[in-house]
Amino acid sequence: MSVHTRTSATVAALALAGLCVAVPADAAPSGAMTLNTCGGAVSDYTGTALPPVAFTGFLTVVIENVNYKYPITITSQAPNSNLLQVNATLPSGDDVSTTSSFTLNVDQLGKGEITFKSPTGSGKTTNIVCTSLLGTPTTRVTQMIGKMTDPTITNSAVGDFKVTRPGI
């Protein structure tokens, strides 16, 4: 696992420049980056208590005009930690998985996105959604949409994924 560190001055300078800032797994955004509108903190993805609530959904990869759809889960491995397990079920019924840390990037508006390892490559969110059952504002991520590498070892194509978990 890698740990990213930044000083408050660096974070503030990058925020003023309008750039995304990588937030360390063990720290909350600092300085001008304290705003969290949706997914701007590690705990928004992993929760603060056990048991973890998995994101479930599908990865769709198109190869030579054929759609391959894989059930996937993305599960926190520890509260307030950037450790995720990504599982995919292959057409054979076999499961492949990897556990690794993710990197959280937060834009100047306080919205986050993550990059992570997948069983045969990597994944990245392109959009996240934060909702609650009560209709009140929340920063807890309930849906992730993005790109991820095909989970079979014979293919390096990238597909689209969408995973969800219930609001609280």
Model pLDDT for residues 8-25, shown as the tens digit of each residue: 333 333 333 333 444 444
pLDDT at 154: 86
Q: What is the pLDDT of residues 137-151, one digit of tens each?
A: 899 999 999 999 999
Confidence (pTM):
0.79
Q: Does residue 84 or residue 156 have the better pLDDT?
A: 84
Of residues 50 and 92, more confidence is placed in 92
Given a cut of 60, whether residue 32 has pLDDT beyond it is: no
Span of 10-14, 37-41, 58-62, 122-126 with lowest mean pLDDT = 10-14
Structure token digits, residue 149: 């590498």
Which class for 59: exposed (0-12), middle (13-18), buried (19 or more C-beta within 10 A)?
A: buried
- pLDDT exceeds cutoff 80 at 6: no
pLDDT, residue 29, reads 44
Of all residues in the chain, the percent with pLDDT exceeding 70 is 80
3 pLDDT more than 50: no
Q: What is the DSSP letter of 52?
A: P
**C-beta of residue 163 within 8 angstroms of C-beta of residue 144:** yes
Q: What is the mean pLDDT of the chain?
A: 84
Q: How does DSSP classify residue 40? A: -
> Are 60 and 40 a contacting pair, CB within 8 Å?
no
Which pLDDT belongs to residue 8? Answer: 34
> Comparing 54-63, 69-78, 134-143, which segment has the lowest mean pLDDT?
134-143
Q: Can you give the three-state secondary structure of 124-156, one letter per residue? A: EEEEEEECCCCCCCCCCEEEEEEEEECCCCCCC
Asked if 3 contacts 24 with a C-beta cutoff of 8 angstroms, the reply is: yes
Sign of the dihedral through C-alpha 166, 123, 34, 42: positive
Please give the pLDDT value at position 137. 87
The first and second tokens of residue 62, run together, are 């198109």
